[in-house]
Amino acid sequence: MKLYTRTGDKGKTSLIGGRVDKDDIRVEAYGTIDEVNCFVGQAVTQLDGSIFQDILTDLEKIQHELFDCGGDLANVSNNPPLKLTKDAVSYLEKRIDDMIEEAPELERFILPGGTPPAASIHIARTVTRRAERLVVSLLKVDENIPETALQFLNRLSDYFFALARVINFRLNQKDVEYIRSANVFRGGKRKEETKGE
């Protein structure tokens, strides 16, 4: 099997059901989801299974779902079957709630970082937010984008924030508060936050 096909040498790439320019917003969106997956993979290599087996199980599940999400966005055929389901969103919500209970309460913004795996997860979080913004842009030109993709990315970035804090907590690394932050959290959540924002 050859990895190169030469079919992209003119700046086009194949979707499921069509071809587009390589800088098409759809390609940007699922390409950014692939970036997220890579940072998740990096974090997996940094986590000790004796401490983080539950999280490693989560992250493998999420890596498959990121592939599902990207595949759904890359499919431009008529009424394609979707791989990513609302169950993935519900699962993230449950895990976010669990992790908020585990980590110490938070009142202020924190600096991304701490331990290497938490830093990798913080990067995954910010790239997930970029992917979410790109899907919003894609929705402006194609109303047929599955809403589950947007919901999943929104919850996933929240999951990564909660996860980075739990990783640092289990490794006895305190989060560093942003020194000029107002008190913006209550019980680990943004004061004005409701689920899904």
Of 22 and 147, more confident? 147
Q: Give me the pLDDT at residue 15, please.
A: 62
Number of structural domains (the chain) is: 1
3-state secondary structure of 189: strand
Which two tokens mark 128? 């997930």
Considering the domain boundaries, does residue 178 fall inside one?
Answer: yes
Tokens of 6: 């030469």
Examine residue 8 and state whether it is found in any structural domain, yes or no.
no
What is the pLDDT, as a whole number, of residue 191? 47
The answer to whether residues 150 and 135 touch, using CB atoms and an 8 Å cutoff, is yes
Whether 7 maps to a domain, the answer reads no
pLDDT tens for residues 50-69? Answer: 999 999 999 999 999 999 99
pTM of the model: 0.88
Of 36-50, 139-153, 174-188, the poorest mean pLDDT is in 174-188
Q: What percent of the chain has pLDDT over 90?
A: 69
In a domain, 91, yes or no: yes
| Residues 123-165 pLDDT 10s | 999 999 999 999 999 999 888 888 999 999 999 999 999 999 9
**Is 15 part of a structural domain of the chain?**
no
**Helices vs strands, H then E, count in the chain:** 5, 4
Q: Which residues, 6+ apart, have CB-to-CB distance to 26 below 8 Å?
A: 15, 20, 73, 74, 76, 138, 142
Tell me which residue has tokens 């006895």. 172
**Total Cβ atoms within 10 A of residue 134:** 21
Compute the mean pLDDT over every residue in the chain, rounded to the nearest whole number. 88
The reply to whether 13 falls in a domain is no
Residue with structure tokens 């940007």?
Answer: 28
Contact call for residues 121 and 38 (beta carbons, < 8 A): no
Cβ contact 169:99 at 8 Å: no
Query: How far is Cα 83 from Cα 73, in angstroms, rounded to an integer?
Result: 10
Is 137 a member of any domain? Answer: yes
pLDDT tens digits for 91-106? 999 999 999 999 999 8
Residue 34 belongs to some domain of the structure: yes
CATH number at residue 63: 1.20.1200.10
So what's the pLDDT on residue 104? 92
Is residue 183 within 8 Å of residue 107, measured between CB atoms? yes
pLDDT at site 143: 82
- Tell me how far apart the alpha carbons of residues 194 and 178 are, in angstroms, rounded to a whole number: 23
Q: Domain range holding 181?
A: 22-74+83-190
